[in-house]
Structure 1
Amino acid sequence: MIRFLKGLILLPIAIVVVLLAVANRQPVMLSFDPFTDGTPAFSMQLPLYALIFAAVALGVVVGGVGSWLGQGDTRRDRRAKGRELHRLRNETERLRQTAAATGPATGRTALPAPVSRA
């Protein structure tokens, strides 16, 4: 079912991308020199669709890096909570073993066994 839905979404996108590439295959001058009008020093000829695809790819990369950097606090908090959870589980196990070793002679009952979350 998921494969069908992927095809249903990706096929029209692929068709649009191919049509864009075919319609915009004429070469354009990409210039990195804003001060020279005639023949700029830093320029290249490439198809317009290649320029569009490169701009989209660059946008995806920059957006992904920005998103990753923006989530740094969340990742740091999650690591800290994971360490705290690990410490608390170890402490619970240590207390469970101590309670089992002392036995019911102290009037305490043993802690229940941990629940498996598989």
Structure 2
Amino acid sequence: MMKKIVNLVILVPLGIVLIVLSVANRQSVSLALNPFQPEDQLLSVAAPFFVFLFLAFLLGLFAGSLATWWSQGKYRKRAKRESRSAMRWQAEADQHKKRAEQIAGQGLAQLPSK
């Protein structure tokens, strides 16, 4: 519930800001990829300014996600190692339980009946 409220508090205003920016920046601009000859038409892209705003936003989102994923790699590695260890311990415990049941079953069979 709290996560939904936080998402609404952050995402709704962000969405409103992006919509307002896209409506206000509809004029066409040229992005020159050649810094030495900006008038070169081969290495330039013309599009409405809000397209570049959205692309910059998505690039930042992707870069942040990648950085977070990269920095949390040691925790994922540790969780995987701990999971394997827990599975081994569980398998060993199951083997001991089966062995204890076998011994208990043999012990009951050897008890003298009255």
Band of TM-score, shorter chain: 0.7 to 0.9
For structure 1, list consecutive stretches of 5 or more residues without a partner in the other structure.
Answer: 106-118
Q: Equivalents in 2 of 1:97, 1:90: separation in Å?
A: 11
Task: Calculate the TM-score normalised by the size of structure 1.
Answer: 0.75
Partner of 1:18: 19
Identity %: 30
Q: Equivalents in 1 of 2:84, 2:21: separation in Å?
A: 50
Deviations 1:33-64 (A, max 9, x none): 01114335300111111101101101111221
Q: Equivalents in 1 of 2:33, 2:21: separation in Å?
A: 24
Amino acid at match of 1:65: L
Deviations 1:67-109 (A, max 9, x none): 212222211111111011000011111111111211295xxxx
8 Å CA contact 2:32, 2:38 repeated in 1: no
8 Å CA contact 2:32, 2:44 repeated in 1: yes
8 Å CA contact 1:29, 1:43 repeated in 2: yes
Q: Equivalents in 2 of 1:94, 1:65: separation in Å?
A: 42
Q: Equivalents in 1 of 2:11, 2:65: separation in Å?
A: 21
Deviation at 1:14, TM superposition (A): 2.3
| Aligned length in residues | 105
More helix by share: 2
Q: 1:1-118 alignment to 2 at 5 Å?
A: 5=5, 7=8, 9-103=10-104
Residues 11 and 71 of structure 1, relative CA distance in 2, 3 Å threshold: closer
For structure 2, list consecutive stretches of 5 or more residues without a partner in the other structure.
Answer: 108-114
Deviation at 1:15, TM superposition (A): 2.1
Task: Calculate the TM-score normalised by the size of structure 2.
Answer: 0.77
Q: Equivalents in 1 of 2:42, 2:12: separation in Å?
A: 41
